[in-house]
Amino acid sequence: MKPNFFPFVLPPVFFFLLLLSSSLPSSLSTDYHYPKNCLPERCGGLINVTFPFWIRDLQSDYCGYPPFELQCDNGVAKLSMMEEDYHVLNISYQSRTATVSMSSSLTALNNCLSLPYYNLSFSLTPFAVSSLNRELVFVYNCTAAVNGSTEIACLDKGSYVYLGGEYQVQESKGSISDHCFAAVIPVLNSPAAEINNYSKLLADGFLLNWSAPDCSECMRSNGQCGYNNITRNFMCICSDRAHWKSCSEGSSKTALIIGLSTAAGGLSFIIICSICLILFRRWKVQRRRSKLFKRSASFAASNTECELGSSFSSPIFTYDELYEATNGFDASKELGDGGFGAVYKGKLKDGRVVAVKRLYENNFRRLEQFINEVKILSLLRHQNLVTLYGCTSRRSRELLLVYEFVPNGTVADHLHGPLASASLLPWPARMSIAIETADALNYLHSIEPQIIHRDVKTTNILLDGSYHVKVADFGLSRLLPLDATHVSTSPQGTPGYVDPEYHQSYQLTDKSDVYSFGVVLMELISSKPAVDITRQRSEVNLANLALKMIQRQELREFVDKGLGFESDYRVNAMITEFAGLGLRCLQSDRELRPGIKEVVDILRKIERIGFRDHEGHQRGEEDDAGKLQESTLLKKTDSPYSPKSVTERWLSMASTLSS
């Protein structure tokens, strides 16, 4: 056995001993207070909470089943289902029902955006909506009132609500007529139910059925019902130890056999996982080496490697061939300024169009930064990151980097730059840009060692021929060592995007990128630049302007008028959630900002608001197939510089949202 195998073997052995000791009979390991941890508890007005329900921080996690976990928040019991928090108003253990209400519905009276826009459905066992509920139906964008309905006062004309009959779990109102849509929510079947007080109906909640193993036999034997997190089965918690069904069954010998069997199974599982992990890491290293070799061999002009370190390699180009490819670095070929030099468009002898980054003349003090950029880009593989083709040797007369050419400019160009007047980026396109950019940053933050971009901004977010994101300019990036939580460095970055805490501590974390991305989110919904000296002094920075206007409830004035914020309720809901996420990213205290992984998840949830079809269902595999077909067609367009065909796809999507 190789020495480096021991770090993987020792943890399983330790875990085996721990598991064995915890599985022995009461003569060897007993917690005599075990049953007392599962006595009934209360949360506000909800009393006698017991198996299968359990309250986090008040009862141990073995006192109930995981799906029945409650959180007591200021006297309110909350149950999390389908990524939504529900207030638990009452639990009936005799009828096995619970009365719950959606948290968001409690604000519906003062905030129309909290009203439901899609059907409520439950597919997560062990809960199911009871058929004893009635239907509360919300209809939107109707040209005529529905019989027996009441107009929703806080919305534009054409929105109504009415009480239906018995709630049908599988029923979906969907499209009532052209441009008229419905959302069905269950409410209690109360004789006093009045449609004019639909906010109270939502707050009073609805009835849920639940199912769990029978606890009566255990309770008759003076035990407490619980859940074994190891075997994932029901258990009866007794004064001596845990039993399968009741406190009167079994023996110490049986328990020992069960404990040893469980421990042996756990040990075998962990050893197998450890071996798989070792083999996977070895395969990953070999695969990376193989990819680098193939990539290097594919360049005919490259027969040696950048001599920048032993842990990475990239093909090199000669200065002369890059000089010729850019027509002698002609000013007409200049695309802009990168992290530490100008970027030129060039065409190699093999026909490939590339972008060549050139270090500023006689500025060789940035050699370390040049080496750092090559090192980082040589390690990265992601569809939304710009690809490094190669570089010149560091002994070349000039230091040059060769990237893939990204033809459709930057996001800044399309929002408030030279391309902004040609065609408006519609909302679905901006939503896609946000998701793909966040996904690229999530990749940088999740790899080992972690990478902090340090200069996230719309001028560093490029758009390819199909208008997909390519995050660029890693001239300021730094590798974050595994044992570090921040990078201390000299001030760099772009005004308007820099983390406020950066100027106090000169320390960067992944939350610094999250702040910069928050500024990008505000640019996407406003089409305003991050810094504009023509604005008032306190509003020169877009982050300050966004915080001020949103806090004053002036989001409508802040949003770009061309995005349909006022004309399309789905776009309105998406942008409102989008702006809320932006505010979280812009928190001055970095500990209050979400991680980039959470940002990606939230953005995908927001995107799903716009992909619900006329029947209230979320588009699934058909949409994915449609996107793939559209992407294939876009690659066949004659001019990758023209957004016409892409715009038609966006406009079609926007039309679907507004219809």
**pLDDT tens for residues 369-408?**
666 667 777 778 899 999 888 888 767 778 888 888 999 8
CATH class of 299-404: alpha beta
Which of 252-266, 453-467, 516-530, 584-598 shows the lowest per-residue confidence on average (mean pLDDT)? 252-266
Domain definitions of the chain by residue range: 108-200, 299-404, 411-658
What pLDDT was estimated at residue 70? 94
Pairing state of beta strands 400-404 and 388-391? antiparallel
pLDDT at 374: 73
Tell me what pLDDT residue 30 has.
Answer: 38
Q: Does pLDDT of 53 surpass 90?
A: yes
pLDDT (tens digit, 9 = 90+) per residue, 272-281? 988 998 988 8
Q: Is 235 helix (H, G, I), strand (E, B) or coil?
A: strand
Most confident of 98-107, 296-305, 580-589, 645-654: 580-589
Catalytic residues: 455
Question: How far apart are alpha carbons 365 and 359 in whole angstroms?
Answer: 10
pLDDT above 70 as % of the chain: 68
Type of residue numbered 632: T
Q: How confident is the model at residue 548 (pLDDT cuts 50, 70, 90)?
A: very high
Does the structure show a pLDDT above 90 at 256?
no
- Asked whether 38 and 50 are in contact (CB, 8 A), the reply is yes
Is-contact 77 44, C-beta < 8 A? yes
Give dist(CA 208, CA 102) in Å, integer.
Answer: 12
Going by pLDDT thresholds of 50, 70 and 90, the confidence category of residue 599 is very high
Q: Which residues contact residue 59 at a Cβ distance below 8 angstroms, ignoring those fewer than 6 apart?
A: 37, 38, 41, 49
Give the Å distances, CA to CA, from 538 to 501, 518, 521, 533, 534.
18, 18, 20, 10, 11
Residue 508 reports pLDDT greater than 50: yes
**Over the stretch 15-26, which tens digit does the pLDDT of each residue have?**
544 554 444 443
Given phi > 0 = left and psi -120 to 50 = alpha, else beta, which region is 96?
left
User: If you average pLDDT over every residue of the chain, what do you get?
Assistant: 76
Mean pLDDT of 503-520: 89
Residue 415 pLDDT grade (very low, low, confident, very high; cuts 50, 70, 90): very high
pLDDT of residue 3: 41
- Region 49-66: what's the mean pLDDT? 90
Rounded CA separation 36/231 (Å): 22
The packing angle between helices 427-446 and 596-609, to 10°, is 160
What are the pLDDT digits (tens) for 109-159?
A: 455 655 665 566 555 568 888 888 888 888 877 777 777 777 877 776 778
Position 584 scores a pLDDT of 96
- The mean-pLDDT minimum among 4-18, 72-86, 180-194, 644-658 falls in 644-658
Mean pLDDT across 46-68: 90
245 is in an annotated binding site: no
Looking at the domain 411-658, which fold is it?
Transferase(Phosphotransferase); domain 1 (1.10.510)
Which residues are CB-contacts of 243 (< 8 A; sequence separation ≥ 6)? 218, 223, 235, 236, 249, 250
- Distance (Å, whole) CA 46 – CA 77: 7
